[in-house]
């Protein structure tokens, strides 16, 4: 099934992949709004989840992201390549993308997913449920045990950071930074491959 998924991704045009990516994020935001409407008492209780504290955002969000990036990079170097192969979807999304667009994609994904998983699910249903749902919805990794363990660990780690800080700005920045750095790595590796083939 993982092989079939990779084949389907390779057959999709760039615009089609991008369309599905943004559509998914829009659906998550809409779902967040609908569920949040019934779960939050008022807007004030929602805004209490946000605290503009640059020191906390950089220390906990940025610091935690750096830890994840270092560990993930080591695993990618140590483990066989096929164990870290996500079917090519991340490469398809980022390899030809300009940096400004990569920035926007990573920001939109971080914002929508953290609003849903931390802002709504973890706030109202708890750490464990939010983390498990986060891992399950990254279903494309279910057939790769190494990637699955990384995603599950990451979901619990982000959830734990949210417990400590109770600040959505922190987890959004953390999520964004992780995605953006790896997006840049995909782009750089692709450009390096193209140059070597010339």
pLDDT score, position 173: 98
Token pair listed for 173: 């920045």
**Residue 46 has what pLDDT?**
95
* pLDDT of the residue at 102: 97
- Residues 117 and 89: their CA atoms lie apart, in Å, by 22
Residue 140, pLDDT score: 67
If we measure between CA atoms, which residue out of 154, 130, 129, 128 comes closest to residue 141?
Answer: 154
Threshold 0.85, pTM exceeds: yes
Q: Give the separation between CA 66 and CA 61, rounded to whole angstroms.
A: 9
Residue keyed to tokens 């400590």? 164
Spatial separation of the C-alpha atoms in residues 131 and 153, rounded to whole Å: 9
Tokens of 141: 């990794």
| Domain boundary assignment for the chain | 2-197
Side-chain-side CA neighbours of 43 within 13 Å: the count stands at: 0
Q: How far apart are CA 73 and CA 172, in angstroms?
A: 21
The CA distances from residue 175 to 19, 26, 87, 172, in Å, are 21, 17, 21, 5
Kindly list the averaged pLDDT for each block of 10 residues, start to end, along the chain of length 198: 56 83 95 96 94 97 98 90 77 90 97 96 94 78 77 92 97 98 92 70
């Amino acid at each position: 099934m993982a092989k079939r998924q990779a084949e389907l991704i390779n057959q999709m045009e760039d615009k089609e992949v991008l369309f599905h990516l943004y559509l998914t994020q829009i659906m998550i935001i809409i779902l967040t709004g609908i569920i949040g409407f019934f779960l939050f008492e008022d807007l004030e209780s929602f805004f209490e989840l946000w605290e503009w504290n640059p020191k906390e955002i950089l220390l906990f969000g940025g610091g935690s992201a750096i830890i994840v990036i270092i560990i993930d990079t080591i695993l990618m170097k140590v483990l066989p390549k096929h164990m870290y192969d996500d079917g090519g979807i991340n490469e398809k999304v980022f390899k030809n993308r300009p940096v400004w667009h990569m920035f926007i994609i990573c920001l939109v994904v971080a914002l929508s997913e953290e609003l849903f998983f931390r802002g709504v699910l973890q706030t109202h249903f708890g750490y464990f449920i939010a983390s498990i749902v986060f891992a399950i919805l990254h279903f494309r990794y279910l057939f790769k045990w190494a990637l699955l363990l990384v995603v599950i660990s990451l979901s619990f780690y982000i959830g734990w950071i949210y417990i400590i800080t109770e600040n959505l700005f922190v987890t959004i920045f953390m999520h964004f930074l992780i995605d953006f750095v790896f997006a840049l790595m995909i782009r750089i590796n692709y450009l390096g491959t193209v140059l070597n083939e010339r």
